[in-house]
Amino acid sequence: MGNKTESRTEYSARNITFAMVGRVAALLMGFVSRVVFTHTLDTEYVGVNGLFTDILHVLSLTELGFGTAITYALYKPIAEDDIEKQKSYMKIYRLFYHIVAVIVLAMGLCVTPFLDVIIKNKPNIPHLTLIYLMYLANTVISYLLVYKRTLIDAHQKSYIGEIVRTTSWVIQTLIQIIILVVTKNFILYLSINLLSTLCFNLVISFIAEKMYPYLKDKEVEPLEPEERKDIFKNVGALILNKIGDVAINNTDNILLSSLVGIVAAGLYSNYYLIIDSVKMVFAQIFNGITASVGNLGVLENKGRVKKIFEGCFFMGHWMNGVAAIALYEVLNPFVAMSFGENYVFEANITLILCINFYINGMRQATLAFRNSLGLFYYDRYKSILAAIINLGASIVLGLWLGTVGIFLGTLVSLITTLFWIEPYVLYKKRLESPVLPYFAKYFIYSASTAGLWLVCDLICRNIQGAHFKVCLLRGIICVAVVDLGFLLLFFRTKEFKLLWNKAMFILGKKLKKAQ
């Protein structure tokens, strides 16, 4: 078992490293692209970009269960080196993705006649329907071949796909920036999106087939009826689960556009770009350990799984605590410096966005373990409840309070559903232990974050002047104060010691190889 644990640790470290590098590169390139975007095109284009992206995220709900269900199903045959079973799962995965591509295309075309209803105060943008159809085509293309990446990820080698995606993203963004500066042509800008998506699909498909030649085998045994039943049961549960995530994370632009106006959606798009970029960097850390957790669940006992989960939950608290505080202090001057003063939200709106970021971030460890351990079915209905509460609260509060009300609606739905149901299911169904200690730790972690947040805010209020200076000094203060505070508060805990020992193990291996 020791060697397997070491292998999981090394795979996780490699996956996390490449994932973080990839997301940081995407963050930087995305930021530069957005600055060029806002300075070369009107605000309405920024709003339309965010709106159409969110519409297609909603339509893509048809896909959001199968990938996770198949990945979970693959862990056991991979651990047992059962190639025939892997082929069987991939065959049904390919069929499903092709069906999804057709469904998303059909649903997307059905939305087209209602664009005037969705967009309040329709902007004076030529070829708006064509622009929407290009977004739709990009989404549909993404389903054709990329399913093969799942097999690479399930083998704990997600870093390979991350290298390809990052390279593709950097090249795409550089070309798009040149197009915006030279031509200011939004349709040509979107054409590069389409081409990049197609190339990424082709390259990752080629790599997967080289690594696992059996993907090309024509003779594939069908799955047993019970195995097919389990997959479709999990898929149904995951689709319901993902409704909550989409309702919380991908409807704000639609509500802002409908209730407040497309300009408000444009303002939010800049904040969303920055916040979501940080969130995706952190999400990649947990994505990097997902396959290793799946392997852990197959080979280890519940006590070991619980110990690793608690370490990951603590890691999530530390990362998201530092980030939430730094984002709150830096976001407004950063947006003012990058996009202009007219793109800045009021401080209360920024505060709610950062609180939502923290609470969502604290869910990442629970979600990673839930997905890796196949617990989708048990909390399937919570997402329906989350969707209803989120949309209802956001609409009511949005009509009453405007922009801040929409984001408060998101906070309400998080606290009343996802915050407590997900860990309850994990502890009851897999860890088989009381969940109250988890919530006690959550309270301690959140209280420590709130206290350090107040300290940082009192210090940062005194820093004024040029936007760049304010961003730099506030960022340094927040990172230093919060890291030091967490270290002093938690360095004696078993969770800190676990992460420290893991880090020292990886460092020791690297130093040994370097000698």
* DSSP H stretches of helix in 300-428: 302-339, 347-362, 364-372, 382-401, 403-413, 419-426
> Cα–Cα distance between 177 and 172 in angstroms, integer?
9
Question: What span, in angstroms and rounded, lies between the C-alpha atoms of 195 and 141?
Answer: 10
Quote the pLDDT of residue 338. 81
Write the DSSP string, 420-485: HHHHHHHIIIII-S-SHHHHHHHHHHHHHHHHHHHHHHHHHTT--SSHHHHHHHHHHHHHHHHHHH
- Outline where 80-185 has alpha helix (H): 83-111, 115-118, 128-141, 149-154, 158-182
CB 268 within 8 A of CB 49: no
Residue 258 is predicted with a pLDDT of 74
206: tokens are 């080629």
Tell me the residue type at 8.
R
> How far is 347 from 469, CA to CA, in rounded Å?
19
End-to-end CA, the chain:
27
Residue pLDDT tens, the chain, 515 long: 344 444 566 777 777 777 778 777 877 877 787 788 778 877 677 667 766 766 665 555 445 556 777 777 888 888 888 898 888 888 888 888 888 888 888 888 887 887 776 666 666 677 778 888 888 888 888 777 677 888 888 887 878 888 888 888 889 889 988 998 898 888 898 899 889 888 988 898 899 999 999 888 888 888 888 888 888 887 777 777 776 666 666 677 677 777 777 667 777 778 887 888 788 778 877 876 766 676 666 666 678 888 889 999 999 999 999 999 999 999 999 999 888 888 888 899 999 999 999 999 999 999 888 878 878 788 888 878 888 898 899 899 988 888 889 899 989 999 999 899 999 999 998 888 999 999 999 999 999 999 999 999 999 999 988 999 999 999 999 999 999 999 999 999 999 998 888 778 777 766 666 55
Q: Which candidate, 143, 465, 138, 431, places its Cα nearest to that of 306?
A: 431
pLDDT of 1: 38
Predicted confidence at residue 247, as pLDDT, reads 66
Please give the pLDDT value at position 300: 64
Given this model, what pLDDT does residue 456 score?
97
- In the numeric block, the tokens 């080629």 are attached to 206
